[in-house]
Structure 1
Amino acid sequence: MSVEAVFPELAPYRARTTRLHPRPGRPGMHDSHVGGPMLWPDGEPWPLCHEPHQRETGRGYAPGEIRSARAAGVWSPSRPWPLAGTAEKDGPVPFVGLAQFFRRDIPGLACGPSGADLVQLFRCPFTHGPYLERLHRLRWRQAGQTERAERFLAAPPEAPLLRWEHELPEPCVLHPEEVDTYPWAEDGTLPASLIARIDAWDDAQVAEHGPDAPSYQYDLSIPPGWRVGGYPSWASTGPMAIDCASCAIPMRLLLTAEGYEMDAGSHSWVPLEDRDPTLRGKASIRGGPSVARPTWLRFGRDRDLHVFACPADPGHPPQWVLA
């Protein structure tokens, strides 16, 4: 279905996004990936989180045992946390490398500071403060210059234990696909009259076709899963104005990370390779966890992590929004 055939007024709002379609695999450090080895020169300090962390109690999961358990198709065993006051408990914590993207692989990926064409995404594995906030980091690089390093880091440092198994990403290769997207239709993101028409059209679709009928928000505007560029989804928070803290201009969506590649509300975005052609709607989704949740990661309570960048100066600090 062409959304512009139904709502021609949306044509000026059309924007491209690149769906990344991560799938479990064996990416190398010179590849774009989620969860694979970072292109990291040997001798360059790995990023550490020195901020105070939320005290963990009970039991956790060792990264090596998580990997072994996944390979065997079983659940990882848990271990007791070290005692408070030990270096393992209270010292600096290595960030977890979540993903890296080369502009040569990902259509639409914006440039970083000074034309940097490789971006690496990190997350502290522990929570911070009374609201259990998460700290993320971006590392921009010049890919060609970095790839000329004499040696590369073979095994980055890791926290001895992680609070949850989903703190450790599964190595995934990417299958980029460019698609058109349109704004989330709520609270001023589009003209009020157009939003009212979209809502009325959604209601009519459900009345005629039932719960698996297509809807604008979930089937025609913004795809689920990992993606670069395009529009942010606002299912949990409602639309937000994201302005640069340095220069106050509106920021642009750099990338979105999401735990699930598909769900019952967005089944129309499921790739043809992952559908049963004899079934319709959410019943047609097939492929199991390796397709629905290939990276194993979670962001908040199954939200989208939107990373916004300043279009005037990529060197300005990014904004991180769970929506």
Structure 2
Amino acid sequence: MTRTTPARPVSVEAVFPELALYRGRTTRLHPRPGRPDMHDSHVGGPMLWPEDEPWPVCREPHQRETEGYAPDEILGARTAGAWPPSRPWPGAGTPGEDGPVPFVGLAQLFRRDVPGLASGPDDADLVQLFRCPFTHGPYLERRYRLRWRRARETERAERFLTAPPEVPLLRWEHELPEPCVLHPEEVDTYPWAEDDTLPAPLIARIDAWDDAQASEHGRDAPNYQSALSIPPGWRVGGFPSWASTGPMAIDCASCATPMRLLLTAGGDEMDADSHSWVPLEDRDPSLRGKPSIRGGPSVAQPTRLRFGRDRDLHVFTCPAEPGHAPRWVLA
């Protein structure tokens, strides 16, 4: 099934004609729980991974834990609509304590499925995203990894890995992604309006318009950041949202080139201020506004993942040399 973003509550370019110069495109991925194949673009599904290629592992020291959640019990609890039981953490020397820890596969994207997906090194057209399931250092930092591939070459492998290595326990229930199929859709998008992301006079006008809308229409009034500029949830390309940190300059550590946004991964596909972005196919046509949304968690939190304290994970790559190290920003 396709997913169709509703028309915006207000035509932003009618209110601010100057924004036409800054209009961009982003591809909303619209993940929904399903049964993706290793040859599909997906979140949380099986990776296209040749059997003779080592699975990525994290070899850095990890924070010690006292309890955790078993992956099979997480999946069973989700099916039952319950919360999984916690288990005592294994002793020293087991994965997650002193030994290497397998990365968890979060998503894979083929350019043939996802409009606007940037090329990787050597024109790679398949990107796979991984996260270490445990935390690092006193600030509980996370480690991510990208694996770029040429899809056609990879699909010619003789055999593929059918069951990647798992750790016995995960730190949180939301470390395990729910397998989701994708429904890519391109939409117009506009920059975050803060600091120097747009000309200062234009940002001032946007802020004044937001205040006037709230004063006239109350809490449900549309505002630029949440309803008109950048959609929530998983998306490719477009502009980063900066709700938690404020805008940041993201430059390549190798060559100082300003980096481009490859991918945004979000825990929520909607919140109280962004429900207008929920697709038409996930709404009851007889109702209006937030009450029209159907599907519960499968629409609002389909992947079951979390990034930081309910932030967006922005993945940036270098446009001058895609082989340079990516940067990961929680915002």
Give the TM-score band, short-chain normalised. over 0.9
Q: CA deviation at 1:287?
A: 1.7
Give the conservation status (yes or no) of the 8 Å contact 2:262–2:316. yes
User: Aligned pair 1:264/2:269, yes or no?
Assistant: no
Paired residues of 2:120 and 2:148 also in contact (CA < 8 A): yes
Match of 2:201 among 193, 201, 210: 193
Alpha-carbon distance in 2 for matches of 1:196, 1:88? 49
Given that residues 245 and 317 in structure 1 are in contact (C-alpha distance below 8 angstroms), is that contact kept between their aligned partners in structure 2?
A: yes
Who is 1:64 aligned against? 72
Is 161-170 or 271-280 further displaced after alignment? Answer: 271-280
Q: Structure 1 stretches of 5 or more lacking a match?
A: none
Determine if contact 1:212/1:282 at 8 Å carries over to the other structure: no
Deviates more, 1:146-155 or 1:277-286: 277-286
1:46-61 alignment runs, 5 A limit: 46-57=55-66, 59-61=67-69
List per-residue Cα deviations over 1:29-50 (Å, max 9, x = no partner): 0000000000000021000000
The structural deviation recorded for 1:183 is 0.4
Contact 2:129 / 2:145 at 8 angstroms: preserved in 1? yes
Counterpart of 1:153 in structure 2 is 161
Rounded to whole Å, the distance in 2 between the matches of 1:215 and 1:39 is 41
Q: Is contact 2:95-2:167 (8 Å) kept? A: no
> Do residues 3 (structure 1) and 12 (structure 2) align?
yes
> Matched residue of 2:263: which SS?
strand
Match 1:38 to one of 33, 47, 65: 47
Deviation at 1:72, TM superposition (A): 2.9
In structure 2, which of residues 139, 150, 153 is the aligned counterpart of residue 142 of structure 1?
150
1-side partners of 2:16 and 2:29: how far apart? 27
Matched, 1:210 2:218: yes
Matched to 2:12, the amino acid is: V
Q: With the length of structure 2 as denominator, give the TM-score of the two structures.
A: 0.95
List runs of 5+ in structure 2 lacking aligned partners.
Answer: 1-9
Q: Could you say what the CA RMSD is over the residues aligned between the two structures, in angstroms?
A: 1.2
Identity %: 84
Provide the residue aligned with 1:282 in structure 2.
290
Contact 2:69–2:171 (Cα < 8 Å) also in 1: yes
Measured after TM superposition, the shift of residue 4 of structure 1 is: 0.8
1:279, CA displacement in angstroms?
4.4
What is the aligned residue count?
A: 322
State the 1:2 CA deviation.
1.8
Measure, in 2, the Cα distance between the counterparts of 1:283 and 1:303.
25
CA distance in 2, matches of 1:81, 1:233: 36
Deviation of residue 87 (structure 1)?
A: 5.3
* Separation (CA, whole Å) in 1 of partners of 2:291 and 2:194: 28
